[in-house]
Structure 1
Amino acid sequence: MHRLRPRAHRGVSDSAGRRQPGYRASALTRRGRSGQHLLGLRSPCEDPVMRVRLRFTKLGKIRFTSHRDVARLWEHAVRRAGIPVAHTEGFTRRPKLSFGLALPTGSESLAEYVDIEFAREVEVDRLPARLSEALPQGLDVEAAVEIPRGVESLQQVVQSCSWSILVESITPAVLGAAVEQVLTAAELVVTRERKGKRVCDDIRPQIIDLEVGEVADEGTGLLAELGTQPRSLRPTELLGVFTPMLRAARTRREGQWTIIDGARQDPLAPGATSKHAEVRAS
């Protein structure tokens, strides 16, 4: 004889999961899986009381982790660190983390950002050390600062990113000539896919600065500052407009920038608590 499933013990005459006449849900059964009430009720401690912006690195083997997986690693880290992060409502409650511009998978970065909302006051100067211990090797929190609740999101405030690109098998002279050709071009049209359709965009206005960097065994460095509005220009798109097309051995985001009073500044406000940690990446 096969064993009956637990709900079958109620009797074969009742439809599975059907409520009987006169049934009324109790307070406990009206709760979601996370313990939050579904009928507009919330725990008062979940209302965010402060917002903190953090800068972190992504170096070493962790660079092959996608943007979405990095977000999951952060969700696990805030739980392990035991910090009072505010959560969304509903059946599947998630910590309130808001990330900046997605980093292409395979690229390293010295300047990634995340905004975290907290349900209780925290000591901001202790956050870098606590979170770095809970994050995997290669992800290190370097600075944190409290920001006003009404400040614009990272996606909105970042105007440009600076990149260090190691171009394969090219000499500085050849790369320098190619850079000059790109900078003097009236327009540089690339084909992109947007909402399932192929569109043509002129990316020349988004190339803010471009110059030859240092020489390495694999090739020559290319330093670029690329615009992010209305759509980010990626290093692969930049290399695609060179003739012939260039290939990158390594790419690293060196910084993300916002414009304040006409000057380029880091998205962290003055007074950020810096952590000069030794890079653990291998």
Structure 2
Amino acid sequence: MRIRVRFTKHGKVRFTSHRDVARLWERALRRAELPVATSEGFTPRPKLHFGLALSTGHQSEGEYLDIDLLEPEAHDVDLDALPARLSPLLPPGLEVQVAAVVDRADDSLQKAVTSCSWRIEVPDTEPAVLAAATKTLLAKDVVQVTRERKGKQVTDDLRPGILHLSVDGPTPPDAPEAGAVLVAQLATHPRSVRPAELLAAYDPPLAEGRVCRTHQWITADGATREPLLPPGAPSTAQPTARAS
């Protein structure tokens, strides 16, 4: 049996790397005494399958982890009680929201997620100024960025991967610095667009404040939805409309 867990990443734990978060999960699952399946060989490891890596320092409303459980012991696991069982075993900021069974035949999270939605705080910028710069950026047919891939400098066009981009007013009162908030939906295939690359594409480049991944999107059965819906969410969800 494979179960999928949705969890948040907020606060100080956002400075924990993706690899270290994986170790935190391995320890929590051991302490919870769940019947987690392990790989074979001299150094067996729990069969955990994480979603798209989140850059160190970024926060998230919805991260995902697939866990393979042993049969038949898996049928004794109360999935409704699992969030309350696991959250206390994880550091503050990593909070399990929901767990559910998924089909092993489904695409992996790495392959299935086609885009992500982001809230990006841009310090020292007025919303009206940022809105004008965003309009200029979206008017471009090509938005070039140079990245390093396999030790070589490669120039890519970000524009097809910017699915939505708008300004959502000033930063909230608790922001470290006053500024404005960008709301973006960025593609993950065939080339992932990162928030830092998006900000660097502005002229002049924008500084990065707090960044939060709010949604991850997959397309299944003709509908666009999240890999696992949180409690109280509608049965189907739609990302924001494509930018024009």
Name the TM-score, length of structure 1 as normaliser: 0.77
Tell me the distance in 1 between the aligned counterparts of 2:68 and 2:223.
28
> 5+ residue gaps in structure 1?
1-49, 277-282
Tell me the distance in 1 between the aligned counterparts of 2:10 and 2:208.
17
Tell me the distance in 2 between the aligned counterparts of 1:82 and 1:231.
39
Q: Based on CA coordinates, which of the two structures has the bigger radius of gyration?
A: 1
Is the CA contact (8 Å cut-off) linking 1:161 and 1:228 kept in structure 2? yes
Q: Which amino acid aligns with 1:195?
A: K
Task: Give 2:6's aligned residue.
Answer: 55
Tell me the distance in 1 between the aligned counterparts of 2:10 and 2:232.
16
Task: Give 1:196's aligned residue.
Answer: 151
Instruction: Please state how far the C-alpha of 1:274 moved relative to its aligned partner.
Output: 3.3
Is the CA contact (8 Å cut-off) linking 1:164 and 1:251 kept in structure 2? yes
**Percent identity over paired residues:** 54
Task: Give 1:131's aligned residue.
Answer: 86
Instruction: Please state how far the C-alpha of 1:262 moved relative to its aligned partner.
Output: 3.8
Tell me the distance in 2 between the aligned counterparts of 1:156 and 1:274.
24
Tell me the distance in 1 between the aligned counterparts of 2:160 and 2:80.
39
Task: Give 2:240's aligned residue.
Answer: none
Name the TM-score, length of structure 2 as normaliser: 0.88
Tell me the distance in 2 between the aligned counterparts of 1:211 and 1:84.
45
Task: Encode CA deviations 1:99-145: one digit per residue, 9 max, x unaligned.
Answer: 00000100000010000000121222121111112111110010111
Task: Give 2:241's aligned residue.
Answer: none
Task: Encode CA deviations 1:228-248: one digit per residue, 9 max, x unaligned.
Answer: 002321100000000010011
Is the CA contact (8 Å cut-off) linking 1:109 and 1:253 kept in structure 2? yes
Determine which of 218, 226, 230 is the counterpart of 1:258.
218
Determine which of 95, 109, 113 is the counterpart of 1:158.
113
Task: Encode CA deviations 1:136-161: one digit per residue, 9 max, x unaligned.
Answer: 11100101110112111001110100
Match runs of 1:129-278 below 5 Å? 129-216=84-171, 218-268=178-228, 274=231
Tell me the distance in 2 between the aligned counterparts of 1:275 and 1:104.
28
Tell me the distance in 2 between the aligned counterparts of 1:182 and 1:56.
33
Tell me the distance in 2 between the aligned counterparts of 1:249 and 1:189.
22
Q: Which amino acid aligns with 2:28?
A: A
Q: CA RMSD in A?
A: 1.5
Is the CA contact (8 Å cut-off) linking 1:142 and 1:275 kept in structure 2? no
Task: Give 1:280's aligned residue.
Answer: none
Determine which of 107, 111, 114 is the counterpart of 2:62.
111
Instruction: Please state how far the C-alpha of 1:260 moved relative to its aligned partner.
Output: 2.6
Q: Which amino acid aligns with 1:95?
A: P
Q: Which amino acid aligns with 1:243?
A: D
The more displaced of 252-261 and 77-86 is 252-261
Tell me the distance in 2 between the aligned counterparts of 1:213 and 1:262.
29
Regions of 4+ moved over 4 Å: none
Is the CA contact (8 Å cut-off) linking 2:6 and 2:230 kept in structure 1? no
Task: Give 2:38's aligned residue.
Answer: 87
Tell me the distance in 2 between the aligned counterparts of 1:108 and 1:80.
25
Is the CA contact (8 Å cut-off) linking 1:170 and 1:219 kept in structure 2? yes
Q: Which amino acid aligns with 1:202?
A: D
> 5+ residue gaps in structure 2?
172-176, 234-244
